[in-house]
A and B are shown apart, each in its own frame.
Chain A
Amino acid sequence: MQNFQGVGVSPGRVIGTIRQMPKPVSEPPSGELLAASTTAEEAVAGLKAAAQSVHDELKARADKASGDGKAVLEATALMAKDTMLLKSAIKLINNGSSAERAIWEAGASVSEMLHNLGGYMAERATDVLDVRARIVAELRGVPAPGIPASDSPFILVAEDLAPADTATLDPAVVTALVTSGGGPQSHTAIIARSLGLPAVVAARGVDEIPDGTEVFVDGAAGTLSLEPTEEHRTAALAWVANAATLAVFDGNGTTADGHLVPLLANVGGAKDAAAAAALGAQGVGLFRTEFCFLERDTEPTVLEQAAAYRGVFDAFPGKKVVLRTLDAGADKPLPFLTDATEPNPALGVRGYRTDFTTPGVLGRQLEAIAIAADETEAEVWVMAPMISTAAEAARFASMCDAAGIKTPGVMVEVPSAALTSASVLRHVGFASLGTNDLTQYAMAADRQLGPLAELNTPWQPAVLRLVQLTVAGSAEEGSGKPIGVCGEAAADPALAVVLVGLGVSTLSMTARSLAAVGTVLKTVTLEQAQELARLALSAPDALDAKAWVRAKLPILEELGL
C-alpha cells in the first residue's frame, strides 16, 4: 500500500476512483507555421473537424444541463463553429500559419473585441478563450482543459484549482479534491470547505497517479492511499453516517459549561447568506463585498451596491452582519481599484490602502452600506481590511461616522495591527482576525505556494501568539471590545477550541463547518479550552501544536474530523 501525505484542509473519508485534471493548454509558439508536409486545405479541414467535435461535445453537455448553465453551454457550443472565428483563423492558415496558432490568434482578437464592448459581452470574452483552448487541445489530441466531464462520481486530482473552477465543479460528481500544489489557504481549500468536500492539498506526487485508480482519501489526516484496505472501507462508511449528524448546527455556539461563542458565517453574497441562515449561522462574521463585483471592470453604482448588500442583510433580520469593505488587490484584483503591474501585490496597494490611490470608491461604498443598513433589521457592523496603524483605524472610523455607520471596526491581518491592538481599538468598536493573511504575513509565506504549506498554517505558535496579543490589547483598552476570528482557522474544530481558549469571542467560517465546530466546542469547558490554548502556545512548531491539541480532543478521531 502506497501513501501520499499532504495537508488535510477539509475533513471527510471517501473511497473512489481518481480523474486527473488536464494541464492548461499552452500557447502555440508565436509565428508557428504550417508543417511542410501539410497543405493549407488539409489544415483548414482539420480545424473545421476539431471545431465541430468541440461543438458537439459542448452541445451534448448543454442538452444534459439546465437553467443558466445550459444557456451558457449552448452559446459556448455555437462559438466553437462560429463563422467569424473560423473565417479569421482560415485566413491566417492560408497565409501560412499553423492551425493551432491560427485559432489561437483568431480567438484572442475576438475575445478582445468582446472585452472592449464591456458589460455582458465582456463576460463572454473568457468563453471564447475557453473554446479556443478546447479546439487547440482537440487539434493536439490531448484532453480538453478544465474539470473532466463525467456522469459517474470521481475524486479530482489537480495541480491546484482556480476560483473559476468552482462554477464547473459539481459536488454531486466530484467526491473529493486532492492537489499536488496549493496550501491550506489556497483556493482549492476554500472551495472544498464551502462545498463540504474532503480535500488534501500539497500532496506531492499525486499528479503521477493514473486515471481510474481506486484510492482512499482522508481529508482530516491529509492522506491519499492507493489500494484501499478493509479498514479504509469501514472508515468511509462511518464517515457517511457521521456526515449526516455533522450537517446540522443547532444555532447555539457554546462550550460545555455554557460560555457562549456565537458561530457566524463567511459569505460572498445574498445566495451564500440564505444558505448560511438555513445552516443555522448565528449571523455573518465576514461579508466579502468584493465577491459581488469580481467580474466588474467598472465601479458599481451606490444603488447597485446597496441592493447587493441588502440581499445579505435581509437573510439575518435582528442578527449581526459584519461587512468587510472592498478587499481588492493581490489574489482578488478589481480593475477599477488595483494596479495589476505591482511587483509584489500581497505587500502592495490592497484592501483599505486602495483609498490612498483611488480615493472616493471607499466613501461611496460606505454610503451604499448606510443606505442598505437603514432599510433592514440586521445589525450592521463594518470593518476595513488591511489596517496597519492606529491612525488608519481612526481615519476609517471617521469616514464611517461621516456616512452614518454606527459600528466601525478593523480586520487584524497585518502583524503590526495585532502588536498595537490596544491603540488601534481605541478608535473602533471591534476587531476581527483574518487568520489567512495574518499567517501569510507573520510567516512571510505566500499562501498560494505548495512548497510553503508547512509554514502557512494558522497552527504556527507565532500566529497564535499574535491572536493572544490582539485579545490582550482589547483588555488593555479596557472597554471590552470584541475580537472575532473570520479566517479559515475558525473552521478547523480543534483550532476553534484553541481560539476560544485564547479569548476570541466569535468564530466566523464557511457555513458548512458550523456543525462540526459547534459539536466539538460543546465537548469542552472554557477552562479546558484555555488549557489547550496554553498547550498550543508552548509548542515548538505548528505540527506539534496541532498534534498535542488533537490528542486531547478524542472526539475528533471518533467523528473523522
Chain B
Amino acid sequence: MPERTATIASRSGLHARPAAIFAEAAGESPVEVTIAMAGSPADDALDAASILSLMTLGAAKGDVVVLRAEGDGADAALDSLVTLLETDLDAE
C-alpha cells in the first residue's frame, strides 16, 4: 500500500485551522487516506478526513506522521497531502 511520511510544519501542530484545512483536503481526495503517528501500528491509523480524529491524534509541530492510501490516484493524493502537512498553515 502506498505510504508517505511527513513532518508537521504548522506552529500550532495539527489542530485548529491547519487540521481543518488538511481534513477538508483529505476529504476531497479520490481515495480514502489514513493518518498515524510514525512508529505506531497501521491498525491504529485514523481517517485523515476526520477533523476530530486529527485532533485526538495530537500531532505537534515537528512530529512525524505516516499517510497511507490505496487505489487509483493514491500516489498523487498522498503527495499533495504531504506538501500540505509540510507547509506552515498558521502562517497563511
Residues of A within 8 A of B (CB): 71, 74-75, 78-79, 82-85, 110, 113-114, 117, 120-121, 124, 128
Contact = CB atoms under 8 A, between A and B. Distances in A.
A79 B16 contact: no
Give me the 8 closest cross-chain CB pairs, A-B, nearest first: A84-B50, A78-B51, A83-B50, A75-B20, A84-B52, A71-B17, A82-B52, A83-B47
Contact-residue size bin, chain B (C-beta under 8 Å from the other chain):
10 to 19
Contact of B51 (A82, A113, A117, A120): A82
11 contacts: A74-B17, A75-B16, A75-B51, A79-B52, A82-B53, A83-B47, A83-B49, A84-B46, A120-B12, A121-B56, A124-B55
Contact of B50 (A75, A82, A113, A124): A82
B64 to A, nearest CB: 20
Contacts of A83: 47, 49-50, 53
Contacts, number: 49
Interface of B: 12, 15-17, 19-20, 23-24, 46-47, 49-53, 55-56, 58
Residue of B15, B46, B50, B52 with most chain A CB atoms under a 10 A cut-off? B52
B17 A114 contact: no
A121 B50 contact: no
A143 to B, nearest CB: 25
Given A83-B49, A114-B55, A78 B15 contact: no
B17 A78 contact: no
B53 A121 contact: no
Given A78-B23, A83-B47, A84-B47, A114 B16 contact: no
Given A78-B51, A84-B50, A117 B56 contact: yes
Given A78-B51, A84-B50, A84-B53, A120 B20 contact: no
A78 B47 CA distance: 13
Contacts of A128: 52
A254 B42 CA distance: 73
Nearest to A86: B50
B56 A78 contact: no
Contacts of A124: 55
Contacts of A113: 56
Contacts of B46: 84
A124 B55 CA distance: 9
A120 B24 CA distance: 20
B16 A120 contact: yes
Given A84-B50, A84-B52, A120-B15, A78 B20 contact: yes
Given A83-B49, A83-B50, A84-B47, A74 B20 contact: yes
Nearest to A78: B51
Given A83-B50, A84-B50, A121 B15 contact: yes
A61 to B, nearest CB: 14
Residue of B47, B50, B51, B53 with most chain A CB atoms under a 10 A cut-off? B51
A507 B3 CA distance: 66
A113 B23 CA distance: 19
Contacts of A117: 55-56, 58
B27 to A, nearest CB: 8
Nearest to A81: B27
Contacts of B55: 114, 117, 121, 124
A78 B24 contact: yes
Contact of A75 (B17, B47, B58): B17
A78 B21 CA distance: 10
Contacts of B24: 78
Nearest to A118: B58
A116 to B, nearest CB: 10
B13 to A, nearest CB: 9
A113 B58 CA distance: 12
A121 B17 contact: no
Contacts of B50: 82-85
A71 B58 CA distance: 18
Given A121-B15, A121-B58, A71 B47 contact: no
B20 A71 contact: yes
A17 to B, nearest CB: 35
B84 to A, nearest CB: 15
Contacts of A82: 50-53
B88 to A, nearest CB: 15
A132 to B, nearest CB: 12
A84 B11 CA distance: 25
Contacts of B56: 84, 113-114, 117, 121
Contacts of B15: 120-121
B2 to A, nearest CB: 21
Nearest to B15: A120
A532 to B, nearest CB: 54
Nearest to B32: A83
Nearest to A117: B58
Contacts of B23: 78
A85 B20 contact: no
Given A83-B47, A84-B47, A114 B20 contact: no
Given A71-B17, A83-B47, A84-B56, 18 more contacts: A71-B20, A75-B16, A75-B20, A75-B51, A78-B20, A78-B24, A82-B51, A83-B50, A84-B46, A85-B50, A85-B52, A114-B52, A114-B56, A121-B55, A121-B56, A121-B58, A124-B55, A128-B52
